[in-house]
Structure 1
Amino acid sequence: MRVLQLSKFYPPVAGGIESVAWELTEGLRRHGVAVDVLCSHSRYPGVAEHLPGGGEIRRAGKLGTVMSTSIAPSMPWHLARMARHSDIVHLHMPDPMAAAAFWLARPACRLVVHWHSDVIRQRRALWAYEPLQDWLLGRADAVVATSPPYAQASRPLARWRDKVEVVPIGISDNRGEACSLQAAALRRRFRDRRLVFALGRMTYYKGFDVLIEAAAALPDDCAVLIGGDGELLERFRSMVNHLGLAGKVHLLGHIPDHELASHFEACDVFCMSSTVRAEAYGVAMLEAMVMGKPIVATDLPGSGVPWVNRDGETGYNVPAGDRAALAGALARLLTDDALRARCGAATSKSSAAR
């Protein structure tokens, strides 16, 4: 069998969907399945890479971005070529460029649509995109949703519920031997204060502005570390300075992959402060769970976030956008060692079960 992963981007480009595509690619390869990857490149022209042991990663050259969609004109041609040798195309949505490429190429192989999220922000463009999206779901042999709440709440999936299967996202435990040493160095860097860690792209739905405001109410012997790059990074840095929180909130920018595990290990609590259902699952929470860290997340209706983080067991879920509730839940875990240990043990058990 040969599978073609069709994704918007692919590592080293960081992101939740990108990490899922990588995990699936590597997992299939470990089980002897041949896998190729087709995605957009971050620039023009495109490039071709070879996977160790066989397989191609084709990054189609991007001319630009329109409404968060990469414009990669060569993608339909590459898809037609690569799909001729594939049994299954595994298409990660939302991605209008990939959907358009599949419509144009019309490959004969089976199609699995991995439904990570509905289109949330660009709703004004849905009048043009919905017919293509609906055609793709109709063409699919199977649709994968990542959690029961999202599958039930998704309006685009409602018509196709008979072909939807829920498959929760899983991740590998990628801790290396140097992880604990790096974590200890990180704690020393922040003078052994209790640490809250958050991670994600600096974009509108992550709620990092709410977390920054909440930090003002946390004990002074705490520090909030926020990792990630993106369009709102400088705005958030200005916000930290304006609120006089430069000594308590630290925006770390991009954290290299080989350093991520040490940040999860060093922290006392992980925070997922997202405010919009565009946060469909929260893959970073799984990384915290592998490390046995309690979690404070937001109760986003119709999202998988509060399903992944079980309120009162693996941590707490607070109303989205409520900085006082967020600060209260973080402070409770930070100041209660027994509670923090109990929730951390529950996250470890939960991650092992997944």
Structure 2
Amino acid sequence: MILQVNKMYSPDIGGVETVVKEYSEYLKEFEDVIVLCCHKNFSIKTTKEIIEGVKVYRCASFGSFMSMPISIVFFFYLFILSRKANFIHFHEPFPLGTLGSLLIPKSKKIFVTWHSDIIKQKRVKKIFEFFQEKLCLNATKIITTSERLIEFSRLLKKFRSKVLIIPLSINRKKYLEKALDNVYIKNLPKDYVLFLGRFSYYKGIFVLLHAIEMIDEMIPFVIVGNGELSNEIKNRIKKSKKNILLVDRFVTDDEKKYLLKNSKFMVFPSIYPSEAFGILQLESMIYGKPVINTNLPTGVPWVSLHEETGLTVAINNPKQLAKTIIKLYENHDLVDRLGSGSIERVNNLFCSNVTNKQLHSLYFGS
């Protein structure tokens, strides 16, 4: 049995949750897979369900604090399930999982996928890095998503001999063969520039809004998501005279695909290294859409390459972002060239049929 440990799981959405889902749905073909996670909101009950052949234990929770769920029974289930598992796969950062890893017998085969360092919560980081180091010490292998992330992370550099690079990936069929005829987004303009994601501190949404105000041309923007900054974002857009459609909610998977497929290109203006890879970039690129991203010291500018699949701008620079949006929006040949490069890069490096071979080799040998 394979035990995947993460803070949340589908239908709760996010980049890491997408990865855990992809891993689980692939690995279930070879062994039973259980995902241990927590309820995002307050819940007194631990629920057990089957989602597309994957057994999910969603632990009772006091809700979330600093974007992390708080649960006591999580440790009980981790203790019990880890005794039955042949493989235990932690997804970091997840402080409950990090602490809970102390309950795991050292004889167990432990994998860690290192999605990002703890960035914003600096006091918490000092405490949890001690336990993360212990987890990495006990791990058989540590998986990360790009070489750049190894260079950025102090802990990954320390355990470099254990680190294996497996990029995040997407299943082409789920995107290109998916019928989206029944999807409808009200008031969606034509040829829009898209921002889609959690309204969180590291996403750079206010940098984008500042950049939009600098653009004289009435370029249509569609901003989609929800999160702790929703009210502030809503107020900013209400006061703006620019052509901005706000979809202030988490969209369904089909709606997300529809929005990506019908956009002109996507803006990915993240400002903190909490954004370690950006799987949404791949989801945009598979449809042949260029990405404007930022030059973070993580895998973000490696996923979508400057002048090959998109354009990369400086972090937290609304003036440069505004100029780049205008440049790309007005140059149809550039959009087409970068879009073709996007499809080629995803097919060569980031399709699940490529990365699944690496995952299979990790678990079961060549």
Normalising by structure 1, we get a TM-score of: 0.92
Which one-letter code corresponds to 1:83 in the other structure?
A: S
Which residue of structure 1 lines up, in the alignment, with residue 356 of structure 2? none
Which residue of structure 2 lines up, in the alignment, with residue 48 of structure 1? 48
Higher deviation after alignment, 87-96 or 121-130: 121-130
Report the Cα offset of residue 159 of structure 1.
Answer: 1.4
Which residue of structure 1 lines up, in the alignment, with residue 313 of structure 2? 318
Report the Cα offset of residue 328 of structure 1.
Answer: 1.3
Name structure 2 gaps, 5 residues minimum.
351-366
Normalising by structure 2, we get a TM-score of: 0.89
Which residue of structure 2 lines up, in the alignment, with residue 342 of structure 1? 337
Q: Say which SS state the counterpart of residue 113 (structure 1) adopts.
A: strand
Q: Say which SS state the counterpart of residue 154 (structure 2) adopts.
A: coil
Q: Rate the CA distance shift 1:225–1:241 in 2: closer, same or farther, 3 A.
A: same
**1:83 to 2:50 alignment:** no
The answer (yes or no) to whether the contact 1:77–1:105 under 8 Å persists in 2 is no
Which residue of structure 2 lines up, in the alignment, with residue 278 of structure 1? 274
Q: Rate the CA distance shift 1:284–1:191 in 2: closer, same or farther, 3 A.
A: closer
Report the Cα offset of residue 99 of structure 1.
Answer: 1.1
Percent identity of equivalent pairs: 29
**1:288 to 2:284 alignment:** yes
Q: Rate the CA distance shift 1:203–1:346 in 2: closer, same or farther, 3 A.
A: same
Report the Cα offset of residue 76 of structure 1.
Answer: 1.8
How many residues align structurally?
A: 345
Report the Cα offset of residue 189 of structure 1.
Answer: 3.4
The answer (yes or no) to whether the contact 1:271–1:296 under 8 Å persists in 2 is yes
Q: Rate the CA distance shift 1:207–1:314 in 2: closer, same or farther, 3 A.
A: same
1:30-179 → structure 2 map (5 Å cutoff): 31-42=29-40, 43-44=42-43, 45-53=45-53, 55-106=54-105, 108-173=107-172, 174-175=174-175, 177-179=178-180
For 2:224, which of 227, 231, 234 is the aligned residue? 227
Which residue of structure 1 lines up, in the alignment, with residue 360 of structure 2? none
Q: Say which SS state the counterpart of residue 260 (structure 1) adopts.
A: helix
Which one-letter code corresponds to 1:49 in the other structure?
A: E
Q: Say which SS state the counterpart of residue 91 (structure 2) adopts.
A: strand
The answer (yes or no) to whether the contact 1:205–1:276 under 8 Å persists in 2 is yes
For 2:216 and 2:224, the matched residues in 1 are separated by: 21
Name structure 1 gaps, 5 residues minimum.
none
Report the Cα offset of residue 105 of structure 1.
Answer: 4.5
Which string of whole-angstrom CA distances, capped at 9 and with x for unpartnered residues, describes residues 280-316 of structure 1? 111100100111101100111x211011110011110
Which residue of structure 2 lines up, in the alignment, with residue 19 of structure 1? 18
**1:308 to 2:303 alignment:** yes
In angstroms, what is the RMSD of aligned CA positions? 1.9
**1:265 to 2:264 alignment:** no
Which string of whole-angstrom CA distances, capped at 9 and with x for unpartnered residues, describes residues 156-199 of structure 1? 212111101111100123235532674xx65x93343x211111
